[in-house]
Structure 1
Amino acid sequence: MKYRLATFTAVFGVILGLAAAPVVAAPDEAIYVVGTPVRVAIAADGTAYLGNYDQGGGVFVVPAGATGAARTISTGGHPTTGLALGPDGTLYVATADDAGHNIVGVVPAGGTTTERTIPVSAGLHPLAAGPDGTVYVANPAGNTVSVIAPNGTAVDRTIKVGAGPAEVAVTKDGTAYVTSQTAGTVSVVPAGAAAVSKTIELLSDTGTSEEPHGIAAGPDGTVYVANIKSGDIAVIEPDADTVSERIFVEGGPQDVAIAEDGSLYVTSLLTQKLSVIRPHATEVAGSMTTDGGPGHLAVAPDGSVIVLSPGSGATGGSVSRFSAAALAAASQGSTAATPAASSAAPAAAPAGEAAAQPSSGSWNSLPAVAGGVAALVVGGAAWILVNGRRRKAWLAAGASQAGSGL
C-alpha cells in the first residue's frame, strides 16, 4: 500500500507537469513511434533499440540517423521491461505478462528474432550487461539481482541487495553497481562475486532514502547516481566507500547517461529538462527542454542523445534526438528550447515503428518520490497508470514506489 500511494502521488505530479509543459518539437530530430517508449539501448554502429511497453510489446530497431523504425523485433505480444546490449552486439530483452511469466530473450547481433529465452522471477526487470557479456537482472519484487553468465541459458546466481533495486551499471572491470531506491543504497558487486562486497548509503540527515534511481559508469570507473529526492548527482570514485561529491540538478533528477568524453546527461521529470554537465565539472552547464516527461536516455556514438518521454505523445510516448551541436551549445550556458523529438507518429510518419517500457520496482517500478518530490515516477510508469489500467494487477505485483525507466 505504501508503494501504491507513493506511485499515485507521483502520477499526479507528472500530470501537472505535463499540463504546464510547452509543446516543443524538432521534426527533423524526432524519432516517430507509436507506443510507450521506456527503454533504449544504442549499438556501436549507432543503431537504437527502443523497448515498447504498450500493447503488443516489441523492440523497435532504428538505424543511425533515421526518424523511424526499420523493423520490429517481436516479444510475443508482451511488453518490454528491460533492455541491454552485450559487448558483441547481442540484445537482451526482458518481458513479462499478466500471468507472471517472465523471461529474458536473447537476440543475436543483427538478429530479427529471439534465439533463446531465460526464465526469471516475476516482476519488471531492468537489465545491464557487463564487458564480458554477463547480464545483471534487477528484481524489484524480491530485492535481489540475478546474474546470467556469458552465453548462459539460466540464471547462474541471485544476489541480495537493498530494498527496491532500480537500475544497474557495470564498470569496465566488470563491477556492478545497483541502486536501491527504497533503501537509499548503492550495492557493489565485484565481477564474478556471489554477494555484495560493500554498500554505499545515500540517506538524508533524518535517515530517509534520497531515492537513488538512475546510474551510469564512466570510462574511468567513476559512478554517477541520480538521486530523485535530494536533487543531485552523487559521484562515487572507483573503489570508494562513500560519495566524494554532489552535483545539484533541479527538478528531481531520475536518470543519467555518460558519454565517452565524460560528459553527463541527466533527465529531470518535474522540470522536463535534459541537463548537461561537462567532464569533471561540479555544476550543470546548461539544459534543454524535453518533449513531455522525460524518462530513460542513451548517448549515441556520434555524440547525440536520445531521450524517451513515455507519456507525452498523442497516441503514446515520444522519442527525441538531441544533436551533439545542440548539446554543445547548451553546455556553453544557453538553455535551448528545441528538443530533438516529437510525439507519436502522425499519418505521414515513417513505417515500422515500435515503443518502449516502464517498470515496477525501481525504474521498472519506479519508486515514487516519497514526500517532497512526489512526482518522479518514470514517464513510463506514470503513463501506464494514467492511460492504461489494463495492467494494474501486474504492476501491483511488481512492488515499487516510483518510476522512470522502465
Structure 2
Amino acid sequence: MARRGVERFAVAEAGAGPYGVAVGPDGGVWFTLVHAGEIGRLAADGTVARYGLGAPQCGPSVITAGPDGALWFTRMRDHRIGRIDVDGTASSFAVPTGDAGPYGITAGPDGALWFTELNADRIGRITVDGEVTEYPLPQTGAFPSLITAGPDGALWCTLNQANAVARITVDGEVAVHPLPTEGTAPVGITAGADGALWFVGIGGGLVGRITVDGEVAEYPLADRAARPHAIAAAPDGRLWFTEWGAGRIGVLAPDGRTGGPLDASFDVPFDGYELPGPGAEPHGIALGPDGAVYAALERGELVRLAPGGTYG
C-alpha cells in the first residue's frame, strides 16, 4: 500500500527478518531473510519470490550484485559465502577460517567479491569461481562490518569495535583510520558521488565522511539515539541511511545538511522520514536505477521511497 510516497511490501512473516537489500541486474530487488535462511526477490509488479538455501540457520546477511550477473551474499551463521542466480539457483562456498562470521560484502574493482569476517579480524576475497583469500587486520577485536569499493581502487570497511575505518588494497595492504568520536561504532559505509567515503555510526548517532587521504568530518543527527545502520549514495550526491532505532529513513545533503529539497514537491523534515506503522526497524538500504530508495524492515517488509515524493 502507498502512503504519501512510501510504498510498503509485505515480503515475509514476522520473525523471518528481512535484512540486506540490493537491486539485481534483472531489475528485481533482492533481499536476505536472516532468520529464515532464505533469499527473496521483489519484482516491479510487487510479487515476491523466496528461495530456500537448504540451511535454515545459515543467517544470510548482506547481499550485493556481483560482476557475473548473480547476487552474492554472506552466510554469517554457517560461515559461508552464497551466490544466487537471477533464476533462483543458489550455491555456496566455505570460508577457510572457522567461525569467521562473514558479514559485509561488495563487488571489488578487480572482478572479485570482498567481504568482512566479524569474528576473525580478517577481510576476505572470493573469485566468481569460489577461490577464497583472507587478509588479517592489524588489530584484534575490531569487528569489521560493512565494506564498499572506494573511488581510489581500494576497498574500505568499518571497524565497529575499533572505532575506525580501514582501507585495504587489492594486494591486501591495510591502513586503519581512527575516528574522532569515541563510541561511534561505525557499521554502514558507501562511496559518495563526491569522491569520498561516507559512513554511519550506530553508537554515535552520526554520519561521517572520510576522504581517501583519511581526513574525517562528522555530522551528528538531530536524534543521536536513532542508531543509523546502513547507508547508500545517490548519483545526485545525497546519502540515504536507515535509522534502525527510530523507524526512519534519513538523508544527508552533499553540503552536510540533513534534508533539503530535491524539487519543489520534496518537502521533508530535516531529521528523517518517518516510516508508517510500528516496529519498522529498518536495516539494509539500496538505490534503484530510477532513484527510488529501498529498505528492508525487520517486521517483514520492504519499503520503497519514490523519487520526488513527499513523506510524512
| TM bucket, shorter chain | 0.7 to 0.9
2:242 pairs with one of 256, 267, 270? 267
- CA shift for structure 1 position 90: 2.0
Partner residue in 2 for 1:169: 148
Letter of the 1:223 partner, please give it: L
Superposition pairs for residues 103-122 of structure 1, below 5 Å? Answer: 103-108=80-85, 110-115=86-91, 117-121=93-97, 122=99
Superposition pairs for residues 6-405 of structure 1, below 5 Å? Answer: 29-34=7-12, 35-55=16-36, 57-63=37-43, 65-69=44-48, 71-78=49-56, 79-95=59-75, 97=77, 101-108=78-85, 110-115=86-91, 117-121=93-97, 122=99, 123-148=101-126, 150-160=127-137, 163-190=142-169, 192-196=170-174, 198-204=175-181, 208-237=182-211, 239-243=212-216, 245-249=217-221, 250=223, 251-278=226-253, 280-285=254-259, 286=270, 287-291=272-276, 292-310=280-298, 312=299, 317-326=300-309, 329=310, 336-337=311-312
Question: What are the superposed Cα offsets for residues 246-301 of structure 1, whole Å, 9 maximum, x if unpaired?
Answer: 222232322211112221112212332111223x2211013311242221111111
TM-score (norm 1): 0.64
More helix by share: 1
Distance in 2 of aligned mates of 1:120 and 1:276: 38
Distance in 1 of aligned mates of 2:81 and 2:220: 36
Question: What are the superposed Cα offsets for residues 93-144 of structure 1, whole Å, 9 maximum, x if unpaired?
Answer: 22255xxx42212234x33212553435422522122143321121111121
- Structure 1 SS opposite 2:282: coil
* Structure-2 change in CA distance of 1:219 and 1:188 (3 Å): same
Distance in 2 of aligned mates of 1:120 and 1:73: 26
Distance in 2 of aligned mates of 1:43 and 1:28: 21
Whether the aligned pair in 2 keeps the contact of 1:211 and 1:227 (CA below 8 Å) is yes
Whether the aligned pair in 2 keeps the contact of 1:51 and 1:83 (CA below 8 Å) is yes
Letter of the 1:304 partner, please give it: A
Question: What are the superposed Cα offsets for residues 144-195 of structure 1, whole Å, 9 maximum, x if unpaired?
Answer: 11112x32422123231551111111124431111011110101012x2223
Distance in 1 of aligned mates of 2:25 and 2:234: 13
Distance in 2 of aligned mates of 1:183 and 1:96: 20
Aligned residues: 285
Gaps of 5+ in 2: 260-269
TM-score (norm 2): 0.82
Percent identity among equivalent residues?
A: 21
Whether the aligned pair in 2 keeps the contact of 1:272 and 1:290 (CA below 8 Å) is yes
The alignment's C-alpha RMSD in Å is 2.4
Letter of the 1:242 partner, please give it: E
Gaps of 5+ in 1: 1-23, 330-335, 338-406
Q: Which has the higher contact order (CA 8 A, sep 6+)?
A: 1
Letter of the 2:186 partner, please give it: P
Letter of the 2:190 partner, please give it: A
Whether the aligned pair in 2 keeps the contact of 1:159 and 1:195 (CA below 8 Å) is no
More strand by share: 2
Distance in 1 of aligned mates of 2:231 and 2:17: 20
